[in-house]
Structure 1
Amino acid sequence: MLAVSATNGAVDAVTRALAVELAPLRVNAISPGTIDSGAYDALGERQKADLFATRAARNPAGRVGTPDDAARAVLYALTSTFTTGTTLAVDAGEPLV
């Protein structure tokens, strides 16, 4: 978890810094939570199902994300011309609990 936390913090800091340095170009990032994208397939069906059930039960949205959830965030970041320097959390509120 340390490596993930450090990486996410770095991405957020770089996103904000680049938004200032590259203005008026917009710079945004997407920070996904648990997304059923195939990244967890190596766990095997049983472990993956157990992990997803646990994560879904613990987050406010009550489910894991889909690639479509992440894609919608990307579309927002690309089309919202008044959004820059932002890391969009697409994580079902996982960090809140």
Structure 2
Amino acid sequence: MSKHITREVWAAAGDFYKAAQPGDTVDEQIVNDFRDCVPPASMSSGYLQVGEAYDHMVDENGRWRPTFMTFAFKDGVWVYCGCCFHGEAVHRERI
């Protein structure tokens, strides 16, 4: 079940990764804060990947690739997509 992440929820958790899970909606101000902290890795209308790599994962071809915190604007709200490869909105998780 997804939840809505505000600055207050984030502050109470102490860490964005503890507060939010892929699929959670987030306040637009949070997206703007991430956009403004470093130049985005990828950005278009309704899509943002934070400019600093969060982790590196092996892709389906066996190559190590960086993952980026990703947000997408869907149905009038911003949704946290998780940590995704560049240009994607599919959460990648270590196994």
Point out which structure has higher relative CO (alpha carbons under 8 A, 6+ apart): 1
Query: TM-score, normalising length from structure 2?
Result: 0.28
Structure having the larger proportion of residues in strand: 2
Structure having the higher Rg? 1
